[in-house]
Amino acid sequence: MDIALSVVGVVKRFGGVTVLKGVSLSVAKGSIVSLLGPNGSGKTTLLRIVAGVLRPSSGEVVFRGGLMSYLPQELGLFKELSGWDNILFYARLYGLDKGYVLKRGKELLEKLELLNYAKAPVAKYSGGMARKLSLAIALLPDADLYVLDEPTTGLDPSSRRSVWELIEELKRSGKSVLLSTHYMEEAERLSDYVYLIHKGSIVAEGTVEELKKRYAPRTAIELHLYGDAKKAVGILKERGFDAYAYGDAVAKVYSASPREEVPKLISALYESGVYVKLLNIAEPTLEDVFIRLTGERLGE
Amino acid sequence: MRLGKALAIAIADFKSLWRERVVVFWCIVWPVIMVILGAYIFTPPEVGSRVMFIVGVANFDGGFKNITLATWFNTANTSLADLLKESSVGQLLVDILKNMSDFKVIEYNSTEKLFADLEKARLDIGIIIPSNFSKEIAFGTARLCVYVSGDDPREVQINKGFAQGFFYQFSKEVAVNKVKAIVKSFELFGGNYTEVFIPEINMTVKEVVNRSLMGLANPVDVIVEEKTPQAIADRPFIIGWYTIGAIGMSMLYSGLTFGAIAVVIEKEMGRLDRMISAGVRASDLFLGKTLSAIIMMLIASITIVLAGLGVGARILWSPLNPRDWLMPLNIFLALLMTTSIGFALSLTVKSSRAASSLGTILGLLLSFTSGIWIPKFMLPQPLKVFADVFPVTWAIDTVRAVMIYNEELSNLITMQIKVIIATAALMVLGIVAYRKTIAKYVEI
């Protein structure tokens, strides 16, 4: 397997705070690799190091390829300029050919439904439109590796799907993608390989199926409670349930035989004075993997 | 390739600045407003033209029969009867005042009305000629009451000075005429004795008396002539001076602000990360930002000069004269200096808003305290010292020397060397500060 990018033992300290604690990962050529973790887990810092914006305190980043294109979390646009002027600006920085920019730029704007607004100043764009323009700029160069920091944050579901299609197109054309996200659906749909990051460390890695199989093999039962989730989890753990609390009034229980165990856990809670408002039984997701590993949710 | 990146930054940055109304206001609109104010308020159209004094006169002089006065009116070959006709020196004074092109004379028949108009500053000078004025001129010392007024203390001082000058001259004229009268009397009543020739001094007695008394009346003939520098005296030159000042003002604002804001705005907008990942180096950003400021200043300078010419500035510049190319060179050097100072300021700011405010305030402050907008001679002593050592003022002074004072090239070489050295020193400071500012935000 050809490796496009290797990150080896990267540590990053800001003052006395260690934000990344020896992170290692690799991106195979022609694959999409996701960095999945909640806000504040160190995803952006890691991607800034990969993009060459920050120097690691220790460790190294090895990029084997010609061109890397980076989508930062901030929009990075000139608000007073039109969308097209912004594209031209970054095209000049990358030294792109005019004919190529005209073709590829229009194609991206069309796919992201921005072509009609290309000449309007970015200041008049909605947040979602500006985000899509920022992504179009990142996808403009014919790069070998695309480093995308939360590419769909702030987009509506329809736009999010358009972006996913564009990222999948990149993969089909043999490009490598490293993206960060806190949306588990995004990671599940796009990723060939996933790294779960929590508090500056990689807590698990593998394909989506591997991760689910290894860390969340059982059915997830989500309980919305009239009462304290931590108290409920305590009660359930005493009775031998694999239970986790997240939020003030939500708990998750993982079970191999939900049909038998659901009545038992409701009874156990009822007897202890904790009442169930809503119960949801679903196949495990990457978020369940994350909850089981960290006891925390991914986010939104 | 590297220049391509810097040019891309310069073009995008300039377009972005150009569409920012606040930037256009401070860089172009405000200096143009100052040029117009300079032309019509600080240098009103009457500046440089002849000053007209409004003089009120209340003449109560009744005249007097005396040869002293008669000689004044009739100079030669007149009979004694003619010479003893009644004459009024007061009326003569009024006529002299009326004939002076600088005076507009208003005659009063009551002192109260004259005083009332003086108190309302309707008159610059008020003169009361007493009833026995002619008699006192003939025999003794005449008294004349002169009052000065004005809209402000400065104008009062000017009016007072002018009145004193006029009456000093008038008093001398009176003395000379009294001498003439004495000689005439001597001639009329001294008989042959006046024609006695004194061989030792080769003069007659009459000539001795005449020359001695004339020397008393006018012992020193002082000639005071005004030789004001043309640039100060002439309104078009004054407006030209202010026009160059407005370019300096714009440059201080734009250089300081653009320098201070250059890195922090890119960080805030998230463009810095993107640029760095696209291979932009600190030097590309520095060059691009400086080029953007130069384009803005070029447009600002041309607009300000056109505005200056539009309101009557006289600006000397010819592309065929090699000396005149010191003008764009010094504007460029001044901009490099202010931008470098701006980069140094960027170390002290944490947000683009703070950088912009600091640049604006400091730019305006320096405009008014460094001899760029307010002439050095009007500044208090400590600021004069500051203006003399502030290198941006050197550059602006060189531009003025070329475009306003038409100075010889040879006289500008020393100053030009100083400007170049100062620019180089400030640029080194600016680049060091700029690198530190970049390092503060990102690690590259």
Highest mean pLDDT among A281-290, B133-142, B244-253: B244-253
- Residue B50 confidence class, pLDDT cut points 50, 70, 90: low
Nearest by CB to A78, from B4, B12, B444: name it: B12
Among A174-178, A216-220, B362-366, B404-408, the least confident range: A216-220
pLDDT at B159: 80
> What is the nearest CA distance from A93 to chain B, expressed in angstroms?
5
Which residue in B has a C-alpha nearest to residue A81's C-alpha?
B16
Distance from C-alpha of B263 to C-alpha of B254, rounded to nearest angstrom: 15
Cβ(A6)–Cβ(A260) below 8 Å:
no
Q: Which amino acid is at A84?
A: W
Distance from C-alpha of B88 to C-alpha of A126, rounded to nearest angstrom: 92
Among A61-65, B65-69, B123-127, B424-428, the least confident range: B65-69
Distance from C-alpha of A279 to C-alpha of A220, rounded to nearest angstrom: 10
Residues B270-291: what's their mean pLDDT?
88
Q: Read off the pLDDT of residues B137-165 as tens digits, 9 standing for 90 and up.
A: 877 788 888 898 877 777 778 788 888 88
Q: Which amino acid is at B342?
A: G
B267 vs A106, higher pLDDT: A106
> What is the nearest CA distance from A262 to chain B, expressed in angstroms?
49
Asked if B273's CB is within 8 angstroms of A51's CB, the reply is yes
Residues B245-260: what's their mean pLDDT?
91
Asked if A76's CB is within 8 angstroms of B277's CB, the reply is no
Chain B positions touching A74 (Cβ under 8 A) are 269-270, 273
Distance from C-alpha of A177 to C-alpha of A34, rounded to nearest angstrom: 8
At how many degrees (to 10) do helices A98-111 and A83-94 cross?
140
CATH class of A3-212: alpha beta
Residues B18-24: what's their mean pLDDT?
87
pLDDT at B216: 80
Chain A positions touching B1 (Cβ under 8 A) are 95
Structure tokens that stand for A147 in this block: 């480093």
Chain A positions touching B275 (Cβ under 8 A) are 93
Distances in Å between the Cα of B241 and the Cα atoms of A72, B84, B234, B246, B401 are 50, 60, 11, 9, 10
Distance from C-alpha of A156 to C-alpha of B438, rounded to nearest angstrom: 35
User: Looking only at Cα atoms, what is the longest distance across chain A?
Assistant: 72
Q: DSSP code of A274? A: -
pLDDT at B224: 66
Asked if B8's CB is within 8 angstroms of A92's CB, the reply is yes
> What is the nearest CA distance from A207 to chain B, expressed in angstroms?
29
Given 1.10.287.990, 3.10.50.40, 3.30.70.270, 3.30.70.1140, which CATH number is that of A218-283? 3.30.70.270
Which residue in A has a C-alpha nearest to residue B9's C-alpha?
A89
| Cβ-proximal residues to A132 (8 Å cutoff; 6+ apart), any chain | A112, A113, A114, A155, A159, A163
| Cβ-proximal residues to A111 (8 Å cutoff; 6+ apart), any chain | A162, A165, A166
pLDDT at B365: 92
Distance from C-alpha of B292 to C-alpha of B248, rounded to nearest angstrom: 17
pLDDT at B45: 66
Chain A positions touching B274 (Cβ under 8 A) are 70, 72, 76, 90, 137
- Residue B235 confidence class, pLDDT cut points 50, 70, 90: confident
B443 vs B39, higher pLDDT: B39
> What is the nearest CA distance from B247 to chain A, expressed in angstroms?
26
Distance from C-alpha of A294 to C-alpha of A38, rounded to nearest angstrom: 11
- Count contacts between A and B (CB, < 8 Å): 84
Asked if A92's CB is within 8 angstroms of B5's CB, the reply is yes
Asked if A76's CB is within 8 angstroms of B20's CB, the reply is no
pLDDT at B230: 52
Structure tokens that stand for A295 in this block: 């006891």
Q: A-side interface with B, Cβ within 8 Å?
A: 48, 51-55, 68-70, 72-81, 85-86, 89-90, 92-95, 121, 137, 147
| Cβ-proximal residues to B93 (8 Å cutoff; 6+ apart), any chain | B57, B59, B127, B129, B170
Cβ(B15)–Cβ(B9) below 8 Å:
no
Q: B-side interface with A, Cβ within 8 Å?
A: 1, 4-5, 7-9, 11-12, 15-16, 19-20, 269-280, 442-444
Q: Read off the pLDDT of residues A15-38 as tens digits, 9 standing for 90 and up.
A: 889 999 999 999 999 999 999 888
Chain A positions touching B276 (Cβ under 8 A) are 51-53
pLDDT at B136: 85
> What is the nearest CA distance from A212 to chain B, expressed in angstroms?
35
Cβ(A15)–Cβ(A163) below 8 Å:
no
SS3 B30: helix
Mutation site for B-interface testing, chosen from A92, A97, A144 by largest number of B Cβ within 10 Å: A92
Residues B271-298: what's their mean pLDDT?
89
Helices and strands of chain A, counted as H and E runs: 10, 13
pLDDT at B414: 93
Cβ(A166)–Cβ(A4) below 8 Å:
no
Chain B positions touching A137 (Cβ under 8 A) are 274
SS3 B46: coil
pLDDT at B19: 87
Structure tokens that stand for B345 in this block: 């300021």
Pairing between strand A17-28 and A3-14? antiparallel
Q: Where in chain A is the domain with CATH 3.40.50.300?
A: 3-212
Which residue in B has a C-alpha nearest to residue A122's C-alpha?
B16
pLDDT at B444: 44
Residue A123 pLDDT > 50: yes
- Residue B228 confidence class, pLDDT cut points 50, 70, 90: low
pLDDT at A287: 81
- Residue A300 confidence class, pLDDT cut points 50, 70, 90: very low
| Cβ-proximal residues to B311 (8 Å cutoff; 6+ apart), any chain | B35, B36, B39, B40, B239
Tell me the pLDDT of chain A averaged across its residues: 90
Among B18-22, B102-106, B201-205, B275-279, the least confident range: B201-205
pLDDT at B263: 86
Structure tokens that stand for B410 in this block: 């040879």
Secondary structure, 3-state, A106-157: HHHHHHCCCHHHCCCEHHHCCHHHHHHHHHHHHHCCCCCEEEEECCCCCCCH
> What is the nearest CA distance from B286 to chain A, expressed in angstroms?
15
Residue A108 pLDDT > 50: yes
List, in sequence order, every beta strand (DSSP E) within chain A: 3-14, 17-28, 32-36, 58-63, 68-71, 145-149, 176-181, 193-198, 201-206, 219-226, 242-246, 250-255, 275-282
Distances in Å between the Cα of A94 and the Cα atoms of A85, A89, A261, B9, B289 are 14, 9, 59, 12, 18
Structure tokens that stand for A11 in this block: 């540590």
Cβ(A85)–Cβ(A78) below 8 Å:
yes
Q: Where in chain A is the domain with CATH 3.30.70.270?
A: 218-283
Distance from C-alpha of B265 to C-alpha of A264, rounded to nearest angstrom: 60
Chain B positions touching A95 (Cβ under 8 A) are 1, 4
Long-range CB pairs of B19-23 (<8 Å, 24+ gap) are: B19/A80, B19/A81, B19/A121, B20/A80, B22/B356, B23/B254, B23/B257, B23/B296
> What is the nearest CA distance from A213 to chain B, expressed in angstroms?
37
Cβ(B12)–Cβ(A81) below 8 Å:
yes
Chain B positions touching A72 (Cβ under 8 A) are 270, 273-274, 277
Is the interface score ipTM higher than 0.90? no
Among A39-53, A90-104, B62-76, the least confident range: B62-76
> What is the nearest CA distance from A55 to chain B, expressed in angstroms?
6
Tell me the pLDDT of chain B averaged across its residues: 84
| Ordered domains of chain B (ranges, CATH) | 2-45+234-441 (no CATH), 53-193 (3.40.1710)
Q: Which amino acid is at A293?
A: L
How many percent of chain B have pLDDT more than 70?
89
Pairing between strand A201-206 and A193-198? antiparallel
CA atoms within 13 A on the CB side of B204: 13
Among A270-274, A290-294, B379-383, B405-409, the least confident range: A290-294
Residue B70 pLDDT > 70: no
Which residue in A has a C-alpha nearest to residue B272's C-alpha?
A76
Structure tokens that stand for A250 in this block: 């939500």
Asked if B278's CB is within 8 angstroms of A81's CB, the reply is no
Q: Read off the pLDDT of residues A228-263 as tens digits, 9 standing for 90 and up.
A: 888 888 998 898 888 888 778 888 888 888 888 889
For B333-345, give one letter per residue: b (16+ CB within 10 A) or e: bbbbbbbbbbbbb
